[in-house]
Structure 1
């Protein structure tokens, strides 16, 4: 199917005449959800480098990052029909899925390492309550997820890139096609709203 060209970039500024127009990722996702393989190929071409960059920041190992990206794009193809533009941009939806895959890979690697060192760990004295720490970490993670739900979609998108992806303000601005000042404002406002939602400093 044909995809309508975008007249403005995501910051609302018209593109100059002759400049290549960025594809509408949301439309490509929806078309992929209808089984359009050509649309999915365009989606892959438009996002693969950024997807790889995000996964690499989490996984660190290039070979494993490639595997994570393959798994992520397969999942994106399978679940693209579930994308809801009302809950955020297509790129943020994809980044969330990729980040989850990358974190799962890191956790799997860490679990394997723990299994390899179980014997030695059992023979070392326990200096702290690891169970209590795990419960506290789980509680904090739930608080953060709940607080993130209070952000606007644009705040959450920018904050997830900066917080989960570890990108700089300049990198976030480039990935979201925004002026650096706008990206900084979204991240700052998101952090303020996140802090208020979590009751930090109250």
Structure 2
């Protein structure tokens, strides 16, 4: 490997240097706190790093954010770069790729959390009469009162009251028109209310 030609801070690396040596020099100068050198490095490699991120993240706006995060880490950790272990561009691309993968994993984890929360907190549509029965009666008393209903009413009420199914779902499960299912549920719950002595 050719000897690394480090250019003093504040000076521009000669244009005749190969890209790897030039990037290595700019990284070394950045590690000394040379903002001008880091700006040159940014201009030289930003398109390549952004392209790498875009291939992983796929969203242009997020890719810009991730690229900025990668450059921030490159600036902060530039003292760790060792040209004996690999090229400057390879080192920067490794940091950038890790940032991109982290963003994708974070987005996937957030999506799973949102889905789990939505599923756990999804409201079930109940008829207002069913809500009144649920709020006012113990389940065992309701089960006993169910025996006073007709078989058709009981099937519909059990699905809606104990199963937590919506009117549309009850209608589908029993093979009934929606209006018929609603009527059976409503009439059954009204009969339950009367049997159990609830006030309207």
Q: State the TM-score, normalized to the length of structure 2.
A: 0.51
What does residue 152 of structure 2 align with? Answer: none
Equivalent residue, structure 2, for 1:36: 34
- Tell me by how many angstroms 1:116 deviates: 1.9
> 1:50-83 CA distances to partner (integer Å, 9 max, x unpaired)?
0100000000000100110111111111111110
Is it true that 1:5 corresponds to 2:3 in the alignment? Answer: no
Matches within 5 A, 1:45-194: 45-118=43-116
TM-score norm. by structure 1 comes to 0.51
Equivalent residue in structure 1 for 2:24, among 16, 26, 34: 26
- RMSD after superposition: 2.2
Hey, what's the Cα distance between the residues in 2 that align with 1:48 and 1:84?
A: 21
Count of residue pairs brought into register by the alignment: 111
Report the Cα distance in structure 1 between the residues aligned to 2:107 and 2:47, rounded to whole angstroms. Answer: 24
Q: Give 5+ residue unaligned stretches, structure 2.
A: 1-9, 121-200
Q: Quick check: which has more Rg, 1 or 2?
A: 2
Rate the CA distance shift 1:87–1:57 in 2: closer, same or farther, 3 A. same
When structure 1 is superposed on structure 2, of 31-40 and 111-120 the one drifting more is 111-120
Residues 32 and 39, structure 1, Cα contact 8 Å, conserved in 2: yes
Q: Is the 8 A contact 2:53 2:97 kept in 1?
A: yes
1:121 Cα deviation after fit: 8.2
Is the contact made by 1:25 and 1:91 (CA closer than 8 Å) also made in structure 2? yes
